[in-house]
Chains A and B, each alone.
Chain A
Amino acid sequence: MKSSRKVGIFDYDWLSVLLFNMLVVIGIISIYSATYDQANTNIFQSFYGKQTLWFAFSYVLVIFISFLSLKNIKNNASLLYLIGVILLILVLILGANINGNKSWFRFGSFSIQPAEFVKLMTVLGLAKLLTEPDFKLTNFKNLLQATILILVPVFLILLQPDLGSAIIFLSLFLVFYRDGLSVTYYLLAFLIATLFITTIYFGQKNVLIVISGIFILVNLFTYFKLKKIFWLPVIFVTSISVLSILGTDFVFHKVLKPHQRNRIEIVLGKKKDDKGTGYNLKQALIAIGSGGLYGKGLLKGSQTKGDYIPEQHTDWILTVVGEQWGFIGTLTVVLLYTFLIIRLIFLAERQKQKFSRIVGYGLVAILFAHYALNMLMVIGLFPTIGIPLPFLSYGGSSLWAFTLLLFIFLKFDAHRVEDW
C-alpha cells in the first residue's frame, strides 16, 4: 500500500528526541568529568571525545533508519533474530577474552558488544512472533514458543558469562503482560523472588515457619468466611513456595559465584566489605552522598577527581552526576528517564499496528530494566551487576543499540497513521 503523505524528520516524536539528546549530553559531560585528567592529550583518544564521536555517528544511524522500509524491517524480523542468535554463538567462539568474559568482538582497537544489538533483534523477533496469525499468549504452546525465543539469547549470554545483560532480556516478559498474559505468572514470579530474598535474609527455617503460618491462617479464613477451601491453588502455591524456599540454598550456594553471593549479602546488609567486593558500592555511595543538594560543582568532586570509583565512566556514571550536581542533578536524570519511558508508553499505546506497539513495549521494557537496575545498583538497593545506564554511560555499542531501537520505534510512530 502506498503512503498517503510524505513523512519527514519532523514527524518523529520531538519530546522523545529531546529527552534522548539531553541524556546523552549529560552523559558526555559526566564522562568528561570522570576521565578528563587521564593522560590522553588527543581528544579523539579520550573517553569523552570518543563518546561525542559515537553520539555524532548515532545520527548517521538515525539517517540510515529513515531510509529503511518499515515493511522490510517487519518482514525480515525473524531473519534479524536469527542473525542475533548466530552473533551470540560466534562471540563465544571468536570473541576476545576480557576479564574472563567473552562478550566482545574486537577489530583492532575497536570492539563491539553483540549482546547490545541482539536486544534490538530480539525485540523485533518477538514482535514478529506475537503478531503471527492465531498467535495467543493464553495458548500454552504459543507462550512456550515466545518464552523460548527470549530464553535462547539469555542462555547464550549466560555462557559469556554476562549476568547483567541476561537479566535485562528477562524484562521482555513485561511485553507479554501488556499482550494478555495473566497477571498470575507475575505474581508467582514476585512470590518466588520475595521468598528467595527473605530466605537468604532470615534463613530457611524461619521463612518456612512463617510461610506455613500464613497459609494456615489464609485457609482458616477462607474456610470460615467462604465455607470453602480452594484445594488446587492452595496446593500449587504451597508447593511453589516450599520449592523456592528449599531451592534458595541450592541456588545461592551452588549456582551463584562467591562474588555474586557477596554482592547480594552486601545489599541485604548481612555483610560489610568496604575494601573488597563492596568497595565500588561504598565509594559510589560516598560520591553520591557527599554531593548534597547542589553538588560540589563541575570538576570539583573529590571522589571523581581522585578516581575512587572503578568503572565510573561506564556503569557508575550516576555517581558523577550525584557528586557534581547533587540531588538536583540526580533528580533531573531520574525525571528525564521517567518522562522518556512514560512518553514511550504513550507512543506505544497510540500505535494502530500490533507489531509497532510490541516494538514500543520491548523498548520500554529494556530501557526501564536498564535504568532501574543500574540506578538501584548504584544506590545500593540491588546487587552489583554490570549494566550500563542507557545514553549516559560510556560505550558505543550500548549507545548505538539504544539509538537504533529508539529511532526504529520513533519511525514506526511517525508512520503510525499509515497502513504499511
Chain B
Amino acid sequence: MNQKAVVIILLILLTSFTIIGRLFYLQILDKEYKDLALKNAVKKEYIIPERGYIYDRNKKLLVSNLPIYDVMGIPNQIKAFDTLEFLKYTGITKEALLKALKRAKRYSRNKASLIIPKLYKNEIALLQEKIYKFPGFFIQRRAIRKYHTKSAANVLGFIREVNDRELKKDPFYMPGDLIGKAGAEKSYEKVLRGKKGVRYYLTDKFNRKIGSYKNGKFDTLSEVGKDLQLSIDIDLQQFGDSLMINKRGAIIAIEPETGEILALVTAPSFPPEFLSGRNSSKNFNKLFRDKVNNPLLDRGLQGEYPPGSPFKMLNGLIGLQEKVIEPWTAFVCNHGFTYGKRSHMFCHCGANGRKVHLPWAIERSCNTYFSKSYLNIINKYATPAEGLDVWHNYLARFGLGHYLHTDLPVGSKGLIPDSKFYDHYYKKGHWYASYTISNGIGQGEVLTTPIQLANVAAAIANKGYYITPHIIKRINDSQKGIDSIYLNPKQTGIDSQYYNQIIDGMAAVYKYGTAKYSQLPDIEFCGKTGTSENKTRINGKIVKLPDHSIFMAFGPKENPKIAVTVFVENGGYGATVAAPIATLIMEKYLRGKITRTDLLQRVLNTDLTSIYQQKAPKKDEKQ
C-alpha cells in the first residue's frame, strides 16, 4: 500500500483513539456528570401537610386552615393575553399587574413567580374557570390560618414566612414555608407542622415537569400536623377581654391542681386574624409601631411590676417555715414602726398601737407585721447576706426571680434580690436587713410578672406545690409528647400546715377585709389586694400616677378550682378594679354565669384611657 495512505490511516486512528480516550474518561472515569445530570433534571417537590388545628379545653375549635390562592406566572410561557379580561377576573389594577410581571421577569424567566398573592376562594373562582385563556399563569393553593375566635391572640400566636435565620437553623424549612412566630404556634411548631412529603420529578430545561422520577420509588408521603388542645377556656378568655376593655394589664387564671392556664388575658390586645391573611404584614407593622399601647407585649407573661401586698403572703409563709414567727405571734403596730435610726415604715392597718397577729395582718394588709417578719427572717442568720439568700431561695422555689418556663415563647424573670445584688449595690458587708425592708411588703427591689403571682396563688391553693403553668392540655387527644415539667408537681419547700393560716387570712380579706365588696354569698374565696406605686416622667418632671391595682386570689377555699391574678395598670387601689375583675372571672369559671351584675357593670364602666394618655409614650418607670 502507498506509504502516504498509511500515514493518513495512522492520522485517522490517532484521532479516533483520542476521541475514544476522552469518551472513556467522560463516561467511565469521571463520576461528576451523573450527579450533575440528576441535579439538572430531577427536582424535589415538597408536599406541605395541613397544619394541625388548635382547640380550647372544651374542644371548641379555635384555629383551623383556610385555603388561599396565589396567582403565579412563568414569564417565558406567558403569551400575549387580554389584560382587561385578566384584570376583571382578579380585581387588581393594571399598574400592580405590570409591576408584578416586571418583577417576575427580573427574578427568572423560566421559574414561577408570585403575581397576585392571597386571593380568597370567591375572588379566584372567575379566574379559575378562565385560566386556560392565560397561558403561563397558574393558580397555586396554599393555606392560611383561620381563626374561630376574636380572642387569645397572645396565646395562639401567628404564622409567617420563615426568615433567613430560621432557614439556616432548621433544614426542614424551604424559602416561603410558614413557621409559628409567637404563642402556641411557635411553642408547638414541631407538633403542628407535621411532616413534609417529597416527590421527585423529571424536569426539562424550562423547569417544566415531564414525569415522575423512577416511578416514584423515592417519594415519601406527607404527615398531617397534630392537633393541639389548649388548657385555655376560650369563653373565660373572651370574658376576660371584655373586662379589660379600656384598661391595661393582665388577667391570669390557672387551675391549681394541674397548672393549666385557663385564661391569659393581656390588654390591650387585637384579634388573632389581624396577623393572618392579606394585610398581615401591614397589620403587624402597625401593632409593632404602636409604642403607646404596645399590644404585642404580653403583659401577663412579660410585664414586670412590684407585686405589692400579695407578696406579704410569701413573707408570712417563709417566716412560719423559718420559725421566726408563729401563727399567733403578735407585733405592735402603731401606724407603722420605726426602725434603724430615723426610718419609719408607715402602716394604715388601723391597729393603732395594738398587737397584730397573722390572719388579721393579712386581712388588713399590715405593713408592720410583714416588715418585722421579713427582718426576723434575715436577722435569724449570722449575716444579712446569709439571711437574704435563704429568703431568696424560698422565693426561687415559688418560681420567682427566674423564668417560669411556661410553654409560651415569651416571659420575664422578674427580680428577687439576693446578697450579691446588695453587695453590688452597696458594698460587701455594708448593708443591713433594714436597708431592704421594702421587700417585706412587696415593694423595694422586688419585681414579679402577673403569671408568677398567679402561680404563687396556685401554690397557696395547693398548700405547698405547683405545676409549672402551661397552655397545653392534649396533643392529638393524648398526653404523649407533653413536656414532663407540665405534668409533675414542684414543691415549694414550705410545710403545708403553714398554708392554712395564710389561707384563713386570705379568706378573711373577702369576708371582712379589702375585698369585702367583691364577695359572693355562696362561694368562699381567698384573695389579697395589692397596690403598687408608680411614677412617670412627664415633661421632665416626675409625676405620681395612680397606683397599679393588683389582686391575687383563688377559690373556692376548700378544694380550689381556680387561681387568679389580676393586674390593672394605674387601676388605683387593689380593691377598686382588680378585685372585682378577679371575682367575676372566678364566678364565671365556677358558675358559668355572673350574678354580681352590679360588679360587672362597674368594671365595664371603668375607663382608664385618659390616664394612659398622660403617660409618656415609651417610659413607664416603676417605683
Contacts and interface: CB of A to CB of B under 8 A. Distances in A.
A327 B206 CA distance: 28
B9 A289 contact: no
A326 B24 CA distance: 10
A305 B204 contact: yes
Given A345-B5, A372-B19, A308 B40 contact: yes
A34 interface: no
B616 interface: no
A308 B4 contact: no
Contact of A178 (B8, B16, B28): B8
Which of A288, A290, A335, A341 is most buried by chain B, counting CB atoms within 10 A of its CB? A290
A397 B13 CA distance: 28
A307 interface: yes
Interface string A375-418: 11001110000000000000000000000000000000000000
Interface in A274-312: 283, 285-293, 302-303, 305-308
Interface range on chain A: under 10, 10 to 19, 20 to 34, or 35 or more? 35 or more
A327 B34 contact: no
A288 B24 CA distance: 10
A289 B26 CA distance: 5
A331 B480 CA distance: 62
B15 interface: yes
A39 to B, nearest CB: 13
B500 interface: no
B27 interface: yes
Interface string A350-362: 0000000000000
Contacts of A178: 2, 4-5, 8
B542 interface: no
Contacts of B204: 305-308
A178 B11 CA distance: 13
A286 B41 CA distance: 11
Contacts of A23: none
A364 interface: yes
Contacts of A288: 23, 26-27, 33
Interface in B31-72: 32-34, 36-38, 40-42
Interface in A31-87: 37
B27 A327 contact: yes
Contact of A372 (B1, B15, B20, B41): B15
Given A288-B26, A327-B23, A327-B24, A306 B41 contact: yes
A303 B40 contact: yes
Contact of B27 (A291, A308, A364): A291
A380 B21 CA distance: 13
B202 A293 contact: no
B80 interface: no
Given A302-B38, A308-B205, A293 B4 contact: no
Contacts of A327: 23-24, 27-28
A305 B28 CA distance: 22
A306 B203 contact: yes
B12 interface: yes
Q: How would you classify the secondary structure of chain A's contact residues: helix, strand, loop or mixed? A: helix
Interface residues of B, number: 37
Nearest to A348: B5
B170 interface: no
B84 interface: no
A286 B36 contact: yes
B430 to A, nearest CB: 73
Nearest to B213: A302
A287 B32 CA distance: 11
Given A302-B38, A338-B16, A345 B32 contact: no
B20 A331 contact: yes
Contacts of A338: 12-13, 16
Contacts of B20: 331, 334
Contact of A286 (B2, B8, B19, B33): B33
Contacts of B9: 342, 345
Nearest to B6: A345
Contact of A302 (B27, B32, B42): B42
Interface string A95-114: 00000000000000000000
A372 B30 CA distance: 22
Given A289-B33, A308-B41, A341-B12, A330 B205 contact: no
B39 to A, nearest CB: 9
A323 B41 CA distance: 13
Given A290-B36, A293-B28, A302 B205 contact: no
B22 interface: yes
A221 B28 CA distance: 45
B382 interface: no
A178 B3 CA distance: 9
A308 B210 CA distance: 13
Contacts of B12: 338, 341-342, 345, 368
B329 interface: no
B491 interface: no
A330 B5 CA distance: 26
A177 interface: yes
A364 B42 CA distance: 43
B18 interface: yes
Interface string B311-353: 0000000000000000000000000000000000000000000
Nearest to A341: B12
B8 A331 contact: no
B27 A177 contact: no
A224 to B, nearest CB: 32
A337 interface: yes
Nearest to A364: B8
A288 B30 CA distance: 11
Given A306-B203, A308-B41, A349-B5, A290 B34 contact: yes
A286 B40 CA distance: 9
Contact of B23 (A290, A323, A331): A331
A322 interface: yes
A39 B15 CA distance: 39
Contacts of A337: 16
A380 to B, nearest CB: 8
A35 B39 CA distance: 22
A174 interface: yes
Contacts of A290: 33-34, 36-38
A337 B19 CA distance: 12
A379 B15 contact: no
Contacts of A302: 37-38, 40-42, 202
B8 A174 contact: yes
A177 B36 contact: no
B109 to A, nearest CB: 13
B28 A303 contact: no
Interface in B531-552: none
A364 B12 CA distance: 10
Contact of A349 (B1, B27, B32): B1
Contacts of B18: 376, 381
7 contacts: A177-B7, A286-B33, A286-B37, A288-B26, A290-B33, A327-B23, A375-B19
Interface of A: 37, 174, 177-178, 283, 285-293, 302-303, 305-308, 322-323, 326-327, 330-331, 334-335, 337-338, 341-342, 345, 348-349, 364, 368, 372, 375-376, 379-381
- The 9 A-B pairs with the shortest beta carbon distances in the complex, nearest first, are A289-B33, A290-B37, A302-B41, A306-B204, A327-B27, A338-B16, A289-B26, A308-B205, A290-B33
Given A338-B12, A364-B8, 7 more contacts: A177-B7, A285-B26, A288-B23, A289-B27, A334-B16, A345-B8, A376-B19
